[in-house]
Amino acid sequence: MDTFRRGSLVFDVHDSGPVDGEPVVLLHGFPQDASSFDRLTPALHSAGLRTLAPDQRGYSPGARPTGRSAYRIREVVDDVLALLDAAGLESAHVVGHDWGGLVAWALAAWHPWRVRTLTVLSVPHPAAMTQALVHSDQALRSSYMAFFQVPAVPEAVLLANGGALLRRSLRQGGLPDDVVDRYVERMREPGALTAALNWYRALPFGSGTPIGTVRVPTLHVWGARDTFLGRAAIEATRGHVEGAYALEVLEDADHWLPELAADRIGELVTAHVRGSSA
């Protein structure tokens, strides 16, 4: 399956690995795409797992609706449900990073029967994030999100001079040049960066829809050098998961776990999946 549809939207998806393997859905963040998992998927395939990694809403050229309300979390969660339906899957293991992690939290909370296990990379539970914004340095770490709410200006700033600022910020996070170049070029496609920023701009539309408690087996992985997401929200996340929960802190890792800690993430995800099947 190279694409799937939801209404008029057409999503690109990387469907690979053993066809009869347990399915693992991989959800990327900003400003990545499904290729962010390219270093992770070989380890999962070697463990007998099938991976489905979509270019999410706004990142697939055929799925870039206009207007920020089209990027509410409920809409993006429904995209993942459409992927599962198109693949003929009642449920799957779900791994999400960055914004994909937020989608994964919501999917597991709202549709637990569709999620066999949950693995969230970097991102705390949204309720824990809200707590940390008040009681820690998280508001400072997240201050860029307020800038992203401004219409048009962030696009102009980030893409000026061939995307120099975006390119520099990704390199500072340790991403290699080839990965940085790929992400920046994708964001330079017509409408791509606006669509990606609309995920942030849609946040006010979801303020009345709490994600709630997660009750599926959950693995949470955080890099201690993450400049965007601090320890307070990570440690508070346990209070929003009932049942099996494990936190793995990678002391030498930054925010970009799928690209820069792929081997360790592969080990952790494989063990988590196998543990749920034992």
Q: CA 1, CA 151: separation in Å to the nearest integer? A: 36
The pLDDT tens digits of the residues spanning 57-86 come to 999 999 999 999 999 999 999 999 999 999
Alpha-carbon torsion angle 33, 36, 37, 39, nearest 10: 150
CA distances (Å), 26 to each of 31, 103, 123, in order? 15, 11, 14
* Residue 87 near residue 15, CB atoms below 8 Å: yes
- The CATH number for 114's domain is 3.40.50.1820
Name the residue range of residue 144's domain.
3-277
* Angle, vertex CA 66, rays to CA 146 and CA 189, nearest 5: 85
Full-model pTM: 0.97
Calculate mean pLDDT across residues 4-20: 97
- Which residues does the annotation mark as catalytic? 98, 200, 255
Mean pLDDT over each residue of the chain, to the nearest integer: 96
Total domain count, the chain? 1
The pLDDT tens digits of the residues spanning 203-234 come to 988 766 899 999 999 999 999 999 999 999 99
